[in-house]
Amino acid sequence: MNLIARPSVLSGTVTAPASKSHMQRLIASALLANGESWIRNPSDASDAWAALSAAAGLGAEAEVGETAIRMVGGLKPRSQELNLGESGLGIRMFAPIAALVSHPIALVAEGTLQQRPMTPLADALGRIGVKVELTQGHAPILLEGPLQGGDLELDGTLSSQFLTGLLMALPCAQKDSTITVHGLQSRPYIDMTLDVLSSVGIQVTHEDHRLFRIPGNQQHQPFDQTVSGDWSAGAFLLVLAALTGDPYLEIDGLGNSPTQADQAVTGALLLSGAKLMRTDSGIRVDRGRRKGFNFDATHCPDLFPPLACYAAFCKKPTTLKGLHRLQHKESNRGVAIAEEFGKAGIRVELSEEKDEMTIYPGPIQSCTFDARGDHRMVMAGAVLGLAGAPIEIIGIEAVEKSYPAFFDNLSAVGATFGRA
């Protein structure tokens, strides 16, 4: 489906959606807890529903209400196949959890997730007692446990998501475990995982995110927790506030706990000269000078699309570090940004040697913007259209992955969208 985003003035208040990253971790922990857990303010993102479906397939009971989900945990698999949709976190997190049981379970994927590399995951699980079969290095993943625990080394340069799964599952294994991680990326996401584990009574220690010590024979405890607001989606809202708010646009629902990598967007906006002020329930953004800025997004790669949008309207070029983190997203996101922004008149240069992206600001030109099945690119196209010139976005349905209400929420505060 296509939609045209037209230049608009936004005012009022938008509440950020619930974090799919936080919710997926809570779902996994509720599955592993013996007893009744409550997850409040649930995300309606497709990734979150895929995680809930996987938990149900592994034995959890779930009752879904408008404002909360009641789950009763316990690993009692009722399905030999778990469909994780297009959720990279889901498939990498639930693989070690599914490996806790002693009979075969297949994890299947859809869309671009079918092409993401899974060999490091398979190799690591194989070293701690799990039989793993891949299809040419990719999903589907056939697992046969049980996960025994033990000592292993892990390459953390590609993704932190598999480490999250190991940290969730290994406390339930019989043996004590250690994980030595080399070159860990996205450390704040591991901090989120550790926050969740601590809140449900699981003990894990680490030495500077390089050596993790995980005692075995632990038990996740039932809980009653509220899903935090999603800073990944909130980053687009904050950028829109800085570009189109009149007199201002306030973003509610963005707290500081648990840790989220994309909270770093506030630092980037401040570097550019934007003005941010905390309110009782959110953040108010006023327009600033929009200076070009340099920002290292290695540990928060989901900030590339919203910050690239903002940089397009700055007075001088902006450089974002960490380009290598974008290759294995829903699209090859670095290439996607360069090519699609180019259609809108914004020159974007990619340097693999320097591991950086440079955005050169300029007037936005009307164009047809292909989101390439990538939810973050849908939102990026919308920002360019709402703040610049009419942009026709191809494939807006991809936004369901993380923020299904994106267009409705923005329409409520003055955004203008039209059918192509």
Do 126 and 252 lie in a common domain? no
- Please state, in angstroms and rounded to a whole number, the distance separating the CA atoms of residues 199 and 258: 10
Structural domain boundaries enclosing 267: 2-17+229-419
From the centroid of its chain, how far is CA 343?
26
At which of 159, 179, 211 does a domain end? Answer: 211
Specify if 217 maps to a domain.
no
The beta strand positions in 337-388, using DSSP E, are 347-351, 356-360, 367-370
Structural domain count of the chain: 2
- Please state, in angstroms and rounded to a whole number, the distance separating the CA atoms of residues 164 and 173: 15
| pLDDT at 303 (0 to 100) | 97
* Three-state secondary-structure class, residue 337: helix
| pLDDT at 248 (0 to 100) | 84
Do 281 and 270 lie in a common domain? yes
228 by Cβ neighbours in 10 Å (0-12 / 13-18 / 19+) ranks as buried
At which of 180, 211, 242 does a domain end? Answer: 211
Which CATH number characterizes residue 190's domain?
3.65.10.10
Residue 410 — φ and ψ, nearest 5°?
A: -75, -35
Do 206 and 237 lie in a common domain? no
Do 319 and 265 lie in a common domain? yes
| pLDDT at 202 (0 to 100) | 98
- Catalytic annotation on 155? no
Residue 328 near residue 336 (C-beta atoms within 8 A): no
Given a cut of 50, the residues of the chain with pLDDT beneath it are none
Specify if 108 maps to a domain.
yes
| pLDDT at 159 (0 to 100) | 80
Catalytic, out of 47, 230, 262, 302: 302
- Please state, in angstroms and rounded to a whole number, the distance separating the CA atoms of residues 255 and 185: 23
Q: How many residues does the chain have?
A: 420
Find tokens 């993704």 and name the residue.
Answer: 159
Do 283 and 151 lie in a common domain? no
Specify if 220 maps to a domain.
no
Do 12 and 31 lie in a common domain? no
Do 155 and 298 lie in a common domain? no
Instruction: Give the HSE-up count for residue 406: Cα atoms under 13 Å, Cβ half-sphere.
Output: 30
* Three-state secondary-structure class, residue 394: strand
Do 57 and 8 lie in a common domain? no
